[in-house]
Structure 1
Amino acid sequence: MPEPHVPAEAADIAWMRNLAAEGAAEPLRGGATLLAAGLLFGGASLYQWAVLSQALPIAPSSLAIVWPIITVAFVAFATIHGIRTGRSSGVRTAANRASATVWTSVGLGIFTLFVSMGLMGWRMGADVSAVALGLIPSVIMVFYGLGWAVSGAMFRSTFLWRLSVASFVAAPVLAAFTGSTWQYLVYALCLFGLMALPGALLMRKVRAAEGPGSGQG
C-alpha cells in the first residue's frame, strides 16, 4: 500500500516543531570553546591595556608577539577539543549542529576580518591601519551578537538572547573608547562577561543534563 503523500509545507512545519522541541530540551554545547576564547583573548586584551597604560613596565613591542601566540593557542585548543568531543559524544541534535556551524562561521569571519584589516593597512598606510584596529573590537562584538542570536532562536533561550543584545550594545560602547587605552580594558571585560562566563555556565548546564561524571561541554 503506498504511503500517504505529505505536503512539503506540512513536512517543513513538522521539522520546525521538532527542531524547537529539541532546542528547548537539549542544552547548547560548545561552552568549553567559548570559555577558552573569552579567557585567552580577554587576557590578551587585558595585557594590552596594562602595557599601553604603563601599568606593566613592558615594551609595547611585545604585543606583536602576544596576539599571534594567543591565536595559535586557541586554534590548537579548539581543534583538539573538537576532535575529542566528536569521538566521545553521543547523538547531537539539529539545534546543536546548527549552532556549532554558526559559531564556526563566527570564528572564520573574525579570522578573515583580521586578514582583511591587515591587508588594508598594508595597502593604505599606518593611519588607516590604526582606524581599522580601533574598529575590530566593535565588529567582533557584532559577530558575537549574531552568534548568540542564532543560538537563542535555536534553543528558545531568553538567556542567550540577552547575551546577543548585550553584545550588540557593547559594539558602539567600545567604539566610543577608540583611541584610548581604556578600550582594551573594556573589551577584556566584554570578552570575560559575554564569552568566558556564559561558556562556563553552559558547560555546567551540559554536565547537569548528562549527570555526574560528564566531561562534555
Structure 2
Amino acid sequence: MTHDPIDTPADIAWMRQLAEEGAQTPMRGGSFLMTGGLVFGVASLCHWAFATGLLPGGMDAVWIPWLASGVIFAAFIAIATPQLKRTETVLTTANKASAIAWSAMGWGIFAMFVSMVTLGWKLGMDTLPVISALIPSIILVFYATGWAVSAVMHRSRAMWILSIASFIAAPVLALFAGSTAQYLAYAAALIGLMGLPGYVFMRAAGK
C-alpha cells in the first residue's frame, strides 16, 4: 500500500506562500469592525444611561438603543458590502478566511441572541435578567475567536493581543453582572477591542 506523504515540497511551498501572503496583506473590512464597535458601544452607553436615570425612560427604554443600533449596522452592511466588493482587486486567502470567520461570528451572535430569547420565553420572564447578563461576555468570546483566526491568517501580534484581551474581558464583564456598570464596561470593551482596532486596520488597508 502506498500513500502520498503529507509534507511534500508542493505542500510546503503552498503553506509558505499562504503565510507570507497573510503577513504582507492588511486585513480588509476594518470599517465593519469599526462601525460595529462604535454603534453597539454607543448603544451600551445609552443602556447604561437609561439604567442609571441619566436619560429618561428607565429600564423600559433600554431596548431602544439596541434596536436602533441593529438597524443602523444592518444598513451599513447593506451599503458598504457592495462598495467593498467593487474596490476589491485580489481577494487573498488570508482576507477570505478572516471574512468568513467574522461573518460566521456575526451569524453566531444572532443565533445566540435568538436562542437566549427563546430560552427566556421557555423558562419564564424571571430568567431574563440572568440570561441578559451573560450576553456581553458571550459576545466578547465570539470577538476573541474572530481576532484569533485573523491573527493566524495575517500573522499579526496585534490581533493576538486583541484576541487575548477579549478572552480576558469576557469573565471581567461577568463580574459586573447585576449592576449598571456592566454596560459601561461593555461599551469600553466594544469601542476599545472592536471600534478603535477596526479604524486602525481600515486605515492600514486604505479602505
Relative to the length of structure 2, the TM-score reads: 0.94
Q: 1:192 to 1:161 in 2, by over 3 A?
A: same
CA positional deviation for 1:65: 2.6
Does residue 1:57 correspond to 2:62, yes or no? no
Aligned partner of 2:44 in structure 1 is 45
Equivalent residue number for residue 106 of structure 1: 105
Deviations 1:55-98 (A, max 9, x none): 22334322223212211211121122111111222111100000
SS at match of 1:114: helix
Whether 1:162 and 2:161 are equivalent positions in the alignment is: yes
SS of equivalent to 2:178: coil
Distance in 1 (CA, whole Å) between partners of 2:204 and 2:110 is 29
For structure 1, list consecutive stretches of 5 or more residues without a partner in the other structure. Answer: 1-5, 208-215
Match of 1:152 in 2: 151
Tell me the SS of whatever aligns to 2:62.
helix
Q: Are 1:206 and 2:195 an aligned pair? A: no
Contact 2:27 2:205 in 1 (8 A): yes
Name the structure 2 match of 1:131.
130
Q: CA deviation at 1:8?
A: 5.7
The superposition leaves residues 159-195 of structure 1 with CA deviations (integer Å, 9 ceiling, x where unpaired) of: 0000000000000000000000000000000000000
Amino acid at match of 1:164: S
Q: Which amino acid aligns with 1:70?
A: S
Query: Matched residues in 2 for 1:113 and 1:132: separation?
Result: 11
Match of 2:81 in 1: 82
- Matched residue, 1:12: 11
Partner of 2:186: 187
Matches of 1:52 and 1:59 in 2, distance apart? 5
Match of 2:26 in 1: 27
Q: Over aligned residues, Cα RMSD in angstroms?
A: 1.4
Aligned residues: 203
Distance in 2 (alpha carbons) for counterparts of 1:179 and 1:170: 16
Unmatched tracts of structure 2, length 5 or more: none
Instruction: Tell me the TM-score normalised to structure 1 length.
Output: 0.90
Contact 2:52 2:58 in 1 (8 A): no
Q: Tell me by how many angstroms 1:129 deviates.
A: 1.7
CA distance in 2: counterparts of 1:49 and 1:64, whole angstroms: 11
CA contact (8 A) 2:51 2:62 kept: no
Q: Distance in 1 between matches of 2:129 and 2:17?
A: 48
